[in-house]
Chains A and B, each alone.
Chain A
Amino acid sequence: MNLGKLQAKQFSQLLNVHQMNSDKITKGVLLLSSFVILFVAGGMIFSLVEGAIPALKSFGLSFIWSNNWNPTEGKENYGALPFIAGTIITSVAALLISLPLSFSVSLFLGEYYRGTKIAKVLGTMVDLLAGIPSIVYGLWGFYVLRPLLIDLGLPNQGFGIFTASIILAIMIIPYATSLSNEIITMVPNELKEAAYSLGATRSEVIFSVVVPSARSGIIAGYILSFGRALGETMAVTMLIGNANIVPDGFFSTGNTMASVIANQFGEADGLKLSSLIAIGLLLFLLTGIINAIGKFIIKRMG
């Protein structure tokens, strides 16, 4: 650490700022970085709104609930409903599929087998899931999961909402699990011991002491993972079938907001480009709303 001190000393000498104390420097750096973040976020909202204006002008608010996405010249019409529906259905389904899994795993890690070797191994594996690039999930879904689903008799050659939801569920499990696990571990031992001393069984302790005192953190974990499902692109694109229609069932093909942007952005211009940016704006708003709801729930429960 001596070297560090030495460098800091030289640094301050170099700048000739003997009087300036480290508090001031820290404050300045923090202010600057916060300002940069604010500026970037503001700039993104501005450019999204600016780019979306032509589409919103030509289609009005019906852009949100029109299900006609027709890029053919002369018949051009863009409606975001197929993608909004696809995004919400796949994300909600993924959340529902992942819910029992990540909840069980977090209890397993944070309560039942806390601190044991098996919990450490399992915890590492779950964290590892979060680090796998989404294209790898997509490939796995395409070459392993899809043939399996075809064998089970799924229509559309295994492509569609259902397949995409399963992959999304696996992808978001680590987010919900890690956060819930952390919070469950933090529940004070005194609380649990008090319940045990009153004669409560282990499951009673878990469901009437541990989960209630950790619930805001657990919910925050699920909201985080839901937000992640909303924006996921690559793996979904590879499995959802990319049909620009409002899905007419759980096994139907469809498309999501992030996926259609990634797919069509390269060759888009004019009104189509503007419509894609408008979808980006809607996705931004959707994520914002979900976050706001999440914060509200946490506040109510906290």
Chain B
Amino acid sequence: MKNLALLILTVFILGACSNSSNKQGGEKAGTSKVTLTAAGATFPMPYYNMVFKNYTSEFGTLLTYGGIGSGGGIRSLTDKVVDFGATDAYLSDDKLAAMPAEVVHIPTVLGAVVIAYNLPGVDGLKLSNELLEKIFMGEITKWNDAAIKANNEGLALPDMEITFVHRSDGSGTTYIFSDYMTKISTKWADAVGTGKSLQWPVGMGAKGNPGVAGTISQTEGAIGYIGSEYAFAQKIQTALVQNSAGNYIEPSIASVSAAAKGEIPADTRIMLTNSADPESYPISGFTWIILYKEQNYDGRSKDQALATVTFLDWLVSADAQGQAEKVHYAPLPDAAAEKAKTILRSVTFDGLPLLK
């Protein structure tokens, strides 16, 4: 009993100590600073975590980001519980109209979806659009199929079942992948279509990029799609994919960035898959931050609104974009960054632009 009382007392004192130190820290940082809260897509999370932290240590604004998925990011913005949301798939016209107020998209960085496979000793697999369609529709089931062989002369393709591993959870990665498949294959467009989760013709599901990557690496003969940020960091065996110019392109920071070199609409809502640029990796895409165009809502202060747009303006600047490669994302090409800055200058507080 005595020991127990002592223990409780100790815990209490320790708790009090940490409380008071927290308070001091909070007051110090909170004298003139605001806290920005954001939530959404998991795909850009490693990048956001890094640059958010750097921004806090450089400018003092506290930032928190919850990787709860693109759907969750949109929901959080709709419920007005965050300063801005993040999503891998832009809001369709219908969804934009359903939001409580006008929402703008800010592209922040580029990523890609790579086709990963597990065939020991078989490097540099080339997949044409036709092969992608046939493999993922379940029409080709063996690795030594004549069609794959014809496209990959010199590779020792084994007599092995093809096991397709896809995502079991809803994901922006799936969205980009299926958007590309829909563009290159009418059969896929009719039977499967585009979405964050799909009705798959073949294969089995694994949860998250780590789940898919783990299943592929544990299963000889497996093929699947993985977010590039994860695949590049893990150095996973990836296939070369044929782009719209007919070139077989290896996924890399440069080839992904090249996908955004074409014409981009003013609101930046575009899927970059199957880009026309001859150097581009075709399964690439933007990830966006979404926020309300009129920042005076729900009693937000002007400081809060100004901090939000100031931070986002920094996020698309060369300062932040230069750090993207460190965590395996492709930076925005200059033209796209300019578009993002123009959009940020249209964000208002009481009808007046916040940034000049």
Contacts and interface: CB of A to CB of B under 8 A. Distances in A.
Interface of A: 1-4, 68-75, 142-143, 146-147, 156-157, 159, 237-238, 241-244, 253, 255, 259, 262-264, 266-269
Contact of B170 (A68, A69, A255, A266): A266
A264 B170 contact: yes
A72 B188 CA distance: 12
A3 to B, nearest CB: 5
Contacts of A70: 199
Interface string B192-203: 111111111001
19 contacts: A3-B2, A4-B1, A70-B199, A71-B196, A71-B198, A72-B192, A72-B195, A73-B193, A143-B218, A238-B211, A242-B206, A242-B207, A255-B205, A259-B168, A266-B69, A266-B170, A267-B70, A267-B196, A269-B74
B1 A157 contact: no
Interface in B141-171: 163, 168-171
Contacts of B195: 71-73
B199 A71 contact: yes
B197 A253 contact: no
A144 to B, nearest CB: 11
B203 A243 contact: yes
Given A72-B193, A266-B169, 8 more contacts: A71-B197, A73-B194, A75-B193, A156-B204, A255-B205, A259-B168, A268-B170, A269-B71
A263 B219 CA distance: 21
B305 interface: no
Contacts of A2: 1
Interface of B: 1-2, 5, 68-72, 74-75, 163, 168-172, 192-200, 203-207, 211, 214, 218-219, 222
A297 to B, nearest CB: 36
Contacts, number: 92
Contacts of B211: 238
A8 to B, nearest CB: 12
Contacts of B197: 71, 264, 267
The 3 lowest CB-CB distance pairs between A and B, nearest first, are: A267-B170, A242-B205, A242-B168
A262 B69 CA distance: 13
A299 B169 CA distance: 42
A57 B185 CA distance: 35
B71 A244 contact: no
Nearest to B89: A267
Contacts of A266: 68-69, 71-72, 169-170
A71 to B, nearest CB: 5
B309 to A, nearest CB: 27
B35 to A, nearest CB: 24
Max chain A C-beta neighbours (<10 A), residue from B2, B199, B222? B199
B71 A268 contact: yes
Contacts of A156: 163, 204
Contact of A241 (B70, B72, B169, B205): B205
B74 A237 contact: no
A72 B169 contact: no
Given A241-B204, A242-B204, A264-B169, A1 B68 contact: no
A75 B163 CA distance: 26
A267 B167 CA distance: 12
A143 B217 CA distance: 11
Contacts of A72: 192-195, 198-199
A243 B196 CA distance: 15
B172 to A, nearest CB: 8
B1 A1 contact: yes
A156 B164 CA distance: 10
Nearest to B5: A3
A1 B2 CA distance: 9
Contacts of B171: 267
B264 to A, nearest CB: 23
Given A4-B1, A266-B72, A243 B205 contact: yes
Contacts of B74: 269
A3 B198 contact: no
- Interface centre among A1, A143, A243, A267, by most chain B C-beta atoms within 10 angstroms, is A267
Nearest to A273: B71
A142 B216 CA distance: 12
Contacts of A68: 199
B118 to A, nearest CB: 11
B199 A244 contact: yes
Most buried by B among A238, A262, A263: A263
A69 B170 CA distance: 13
Contact of B204 (A3, A69, A159): A159
Contacts of B172: 267
Nearest to A76: B195
Nearest to B193: A72
A73 B199 CA distance: 11
Contacts of B205: 241-243, 255, 263
A217 B5 CA distance: 40
Given A71-B195, A242-B204, A157 B69 contact: no
Contacts of B70: 267
